[in-house]
Amino acid sequence: MKRAFENHIAQRYLKTRRKGAFVRTLLRFARWGVAIGVFTIVVSQAMMAGWREGIQNLLFKATAHFSIHPYSDSENWDTDEALKIIKNVPGVKAVNPFRMDMALSRSARSGQITEPLMLKAVEPETARATSSLFDNIKPIAIESLQPGQVIVGQDFARQQGLRVGDDLQVILSKIDLGLSGMTPKVKAFTVAGIFHSRNSLYDRGWAFVHLDDAKAWAQSEQADGIEITLTDIQQIKVKQNEIRDALGSALARPFITMDQMERNRELFAGLDMLKWIFLAVMSLIVIVNASSITAVLVLLVAEKRRDIGTLLALGATPGQIQRIFQAHGLRMAVVGTLAGLVAALPLCAALDHFQVIQTPAALVDFLPYFPFKLRILDIVFAAAFPIIVAFFASRNPAKKASELNPIETLRAE
C-alpha cells in the first residue's frame, strides 16, 4: 500500500482514452513491440535448447555414456578384471569391451571404390545395452554376430551395392611384416546384417565386427577400452571419477575417460555460441522498443503538464511524480511481456509435442523434427529483461516530469 497513490495515477494514465491518436498508436507499438521481442526470445531459445538436447540425446543413445581406457600400454591390462570392478560400481547399468580401428574397405564386387570405415569390434552379448545402433539391424540381431561377420550401415551398403551374404574386403591400419616387407593387414568379412540409425555419420562410416576378430588381428587378448552406460546420465562426471579411481587403485595404473560431450566439444561450443548470438539479436528488439516507451512518456509529460502542476500544488512530491511515470512505463512493459509469454509458451509446447515442423532428411537426418525445449532460466530472462529495459527507458522522462515547476506550469496553462 506504500505506493498505492502512484500506482493508481499510473493506471489511470494507462487506461485513459483521452490521449491523442498519435500517443495511442505509440502506446500500442510499445506494448506489441515488447510482446514480439519476448515472443522471439522464448521461441528462439527453446529451439536452440531443443537442438542441443536432441543432439546430445542422440549421441548418448548411439554410443555408451562414456568409455574408459588405460592411459598407456593398452595391450597389457586385465580387461576381465576391469569389467568386474566396473560392474560393482553403483549406478552402472551396462558395460561392453571394445576395440576400434580405422580401415579402408570396399565390396568384393568389381568396380567398387574403396571408402574409409570406422571398424568397431564389440562383444555381441552385451553390445545392445550400451548402444541404440543395434536396435535396427536386419536380418539378424547383434547377439547373433559371429567371428568373420560384419554389420554395416545402410548408406554404406547402398553405396557399395552390398547385400547380406556378400563379402567385404577391409584394409586395416595394422602392419604385417612378411618376406616382401611391411604390408597392411587385409581381412575379408561376410556381411551378416545392415543397420539403420537415421544418422549418416554412423550409417555411412561405421561397421561392427566381433571382438574376437579384433583381438586376432591385434594379437592381443585385451580390449582397447570399456564402454559404460549409467542409470542416470546426470551422474556422468561423478561416475567417471569414481570408476577411474577404483580401477587405478585395483590395477595399479592410470586410466582416462572420454564421453560424447568431450569428443564433440567443438559442436556443443558452436551450439552454445549460436544460442547466445540468437539471444543477443532478439534482445535488440526489446532494446529498440525502449525508444517507443521513452517517446510515449515524453508525449505524456508534455500533455499532462497541467495535471502534473496540479498534483505538485496539492502536495505531491517530485519523487511521487517520478514514480508515477516510471510505473506507467513499467506497466507498458509488463503488458507486452505477458502477451509475449502467453503467445510463446503454449506455441513452443505444441510445436514440440505434436512435432509440427519436420526436418528435411537431406539436411539433418538424425533429428526428424524441430524440437522446442523450454528452460526456466530462458523464460525468466525473457520476462525480466523487458522490465529492466523499461525501467531505464522511463527513468529520464519521469525525472523530467518531477522537475517541473508547479507555479510556472499552472501559469502557462
- Digit-coded pLDDT (tens) for 256-284: 999 888 888 888 899 899 999 999 999 99
Minimum mean pLDDT range among 39-53, 201-215, 358-372: 358-372
Q: Give the rounded distance of the alpha carbon of 377 from its chain centre.
A: 14
Let me know: does 354 contact 6? Beta carbons within 8 Å.
Answer: no
Q: What are phi and psi of 70, to 5 degrees?
A: -65, 145
Q: Strands 181-195, 149-153: parallel, antiparallel or unpaired by DSSP?
A: parallel
Residues 6+ apart with CB under 8 A from 154: 194, 195, 196, 203
Whole-Å CA distances, 315 to 258, 308, 309, 319: 71, 11, 10, 11
Q: pLDDT band at 406, cuts 50/70/90?
A: confident
Q: What is the pLDDT of residues 376-394, one digit of tens each?
A: 999 999 999 999 999 999 9
Determine the Cα–Cα distance for residues 232 and 52; give it in Å rounded to an integer. Answer: 19
pLDDT (average), residues 202-220: 93
- pTM value > 0.85: no
Q: pLDDT band at 301, cuts 50/70/90?
A: confident
Give the residue extent of every domain in the chain: 4-60+266-412, 72-253
Burial class (CB in 10 A: 0-12, 13-18, 19+), 358: exposed
- pLDDT for position 309: 85
